[in-house]
Amino acid sequence: MTIFWFLFKEGFKGLLRSKYSGAFSIIIIAVSIIMVGFGYVIARDTLFAVGNIRSQFDVDIFIVATAGPQDIEDFHQKLRSMNEIDQILYISPEMAAEKFKKEFGEDIFDILDYNPLPPSFTISLKSIYRNLMSVEAIASILQRDSIVDEVKYRKNFLIILEKYQRVILVVVLVVFAVLTIISIILTSNSIKMTIFARRDIISTLKLIGATNRFVKMPFVIEGTLEGGLGALLAGLIIYGVIYVQNNYLQSFFDYRLNVSLRYYIALFVLGLFLGWVGSRRAIRRFL
């Protein structure tokens, strides 16, 4: 207990002693966390927006005009039994006419004297099937039914969406990995400066019989504390930016930033992690 308490106190005092270099490390860690923190929010919201667009993807199934009510009911039943389908909406010719009127402002009966619009189903697929390959397979099965006149869906929309989602995902992962590596390197280098300024302590400790662990621990504790303080600073700045955006700038940028308490806790843990890894990495050179 003596030794643990001593090393903890040494780490804490080290933080107070380091002053400018310690403050510099805290700022570097805060900048790193802000980069990762905002990077995460932007990536999350981008992927959420893409997912949202994808969720609006529907497949329209047009029924032949000759189909009777029983045929339509049987087909409806068939759709209900398909595992891939999440929601089914039946649109009768009358409902289609209503929709036409709503969308185009004119009554179809005034134009043609009859209703040429066929009955149809609009189905939305479960999220895991909202991809080009599944949609094509499902459409081809439905198309084979004699009651089905045509199956329509926005194929190009799906192609573009899939292409961009993959690109976004890769970009997000690469940016995240790069930001994390940059954060660790920046943190480690700034802590290295702190340690460099006190390298005489390390050589003295080694001469008096201190183990590498004993020499290392105060610096690692100091680095971890710096990480925690950097995270607190970053948390305050992020909170401030979010507050200003949501309360004063939302009318300029139609975007509302939402983060939970868990997000701030995760940033704090990230700060501790960066300080811990950074200081361990930094001290290695001096042992």
Query: Which residues are at the interface with other proteins (CB under 8 A)?
Result: 2-3, 6, 17, 200-201, 203-212, 214
Closest approach of other proteins to the CB of residue 17, in Å: 6
Buried residues in 172-189 as b, exposed as e (16+ CB within 10 A): beeeeeebbeebbebbbe
The residue written with tokens 């439905």 in the block is 142
Closest approach of other proteins to the CB of residue 18, in Å: 11
Tell me, rounded to whole angstroms, the distance of Cα 206 from its chain centroid. 47
Closest approach of other proteins to the CB of residue 11, in Å: 13
Nearer to other proteins (CB atom), residue 41 or residue 210: 210
What are 121's strand-pairing partners?
61, 90
The two beta strands, 120-125 and 85-91, are: antiparallel
Closest approach of other proteins to the CB of residue 16, in Å: 10
Nearer to other proteins (CB atom), residue 256 or residue 285: 285
Instruction: Give dist(CA 5, CA 10) in Å, integer.
Output: 8
**The two three-digit tokens of residue 175, written as one number:** 């940016």
Nearer to other proteins (CB atom), residue 1 or residue 261: 1
Nearer to other proteins (CB atom), residue 215 or residue 270: 215
CB 26 within 8 A of CB 233: yes
Closest approach of other proteins to the CB of residue 189, in Å: 23
Give how far Cα 53 sits from Cα of 46, 58, 266, Å: 11, 11, 28
Closest approach of other proteins to the CB of residue 51, in Å: 53
CA torsion, ordered 267, 270, 272, 277, to nearest 10 deg: -160
Q: How many CB atoms neighbour CB 205 within 10 A? A: 16
**The two three-digit tokens of residue 213, written as one number:** 């662990």
Closest approach of other proteins to the CB of residue 272, in Å: 25
Q: How many CB atoms neighbour CB 266 within 10 A? A: 16
Nearer to other proteins (CB atom), residue 207 or residue 261: 207
Closest approach of other proteins to the CB of residue 15, in Å: 13
Instruction: Give dist(CA 270, CA 137) in Å, integer.
Output: 44
Nearer to other proteins (CB atom), residue 5 or residue 252: 5
Instruction: Give dist(CA 273, CA 182) in Å, integer.
Output: 14
Nearer to other proteins (CB atom), residue 110 or residue 200: 200
Nearer to other proteins (CB atom), residue 14 or residue 230: 14
